[in-house]
Amino acid sequence: MLRGFHLANNGNITDEHLDWLQGVEMVKCLVRLDLPAEPTGFQRLHESLPPHTEFVLRLYMPGRWSAEEFVQRTQERLPRILSTLEDRTTWIEIHNEPNHKDGIEGWGRGMEHVTTFIPWYHYILSRFRCIGFQNLGFPGLALGDQHWERVWARECKQIIEMSDWIGVHSYWQDGPDQMFDDRLGWNWSWYQKRFPGKRLIVTEAGNSNCHSPNVYQVLSPEQQADQYLEWCKHAEDGPHGVCFFMLGGTQDWAGFQVHKETIFTLRR
């Protein structure tokens, strides 16, 4: 399993981060479809990271766009990024958490939402294949029963099987009991059983104690490093890769900050 990290959700890539990422096997980046041009950070990443580092490119849009506009915006931006990354292995994630109960990225958790998402995704997948994009992945779903995650996964069975790989989110709180629970930190294992033979990439993972600060203590850098290393050791023969969430970003997600101690511990 490749060990990696989700880069900052605000697109910022610092010299310090580039130094930390030396030896990391996978990085996940946002491709902003709502901006007039892609961030210049892809060139810096390509020049700084070793050739074997694989990239997960998450196609991001705020709100909900038509499938036609999603394809058009992607076609305007993605080829330039792929050209910049040259012959690196890249995994394209089509959207993110469409089932989130609050509709943060466009839909919601209900059946009326999944029934509109399925043809939306099917159209985009088909068009991307016609364009020539490869390694197309079903997006990581928002984790847990409150987002009807398993309902969505079952309803989307056909388009998941049509995809080249599956994105999965795996979060937990506290320690090993939740970390190895197949509805939380070990969520990827359910998809492995449900879709045998399909490549899995854990596109978001990590300890989310920061969501319940009155119940759980936020991990110290040393505790985070130990937990994430333990997770990786047990998942070694499972997913193709993992991207722990996240390396810097906006203040509202500061509790998920991956510490440099964790990065140094997981580098190989």
User: For residue range 119-139, what is the model confidence (pLDDT) as tens digits?
Assistant: 999 999 999 999 999 999 999
What whole-number distance in Å separates Cα of residue 166 and Cα of residue 218?
A: 30
> Number of structural domains, the chain?
1
CB distance 142 to 149 below 8 Å: yes
pLDDT tens digit sequence for 190-212: 999 999 999 999 999 999 998 88
Tokens at 185, concatenated: 């930190």
Average pLDDT over residues 31-38: 80
Neighbours of 217 (CB within 10 A): 10
Of 132-141, 165-174, 234-243, 244-253, which range is least confident?
244-253
Return the number of other C-beta atoms located less than 10 Å from residue 251's C-beta. Answer: 7
Range with the lowest mean pLDDT among 87-101, 159-173, 179-193, 201-215? Answer: 201-215
Choice among 10-14, 152-156, 233-237, 239-243 with the minimum mean pLDDT = 10-14
User: Pick the residue with more confidence: 250 or 141?
Assistant: 141
3-state helix, strand, coil in the chain (%, to 5): 40, 20, 40
Q: How many CA atoms lie within 13 A of 151 on its CB side?
A: 17
**Residue 213's pLDDT is what?**
83
Q: Which one-letter DSSP state was computed for residue 148?
A: T
pTM of the model: 0.96
Class of residue 158 by CB neighbours under 10 A (exposed 0-12, middle 13-18, buried 19+): exposed
Q: What is the pLDDT of residue 37?
A: 66
- The CATH number of whichever domain residue 95 belongs to comes to 3.20.20.80
Range of the domain at 32: 2-266
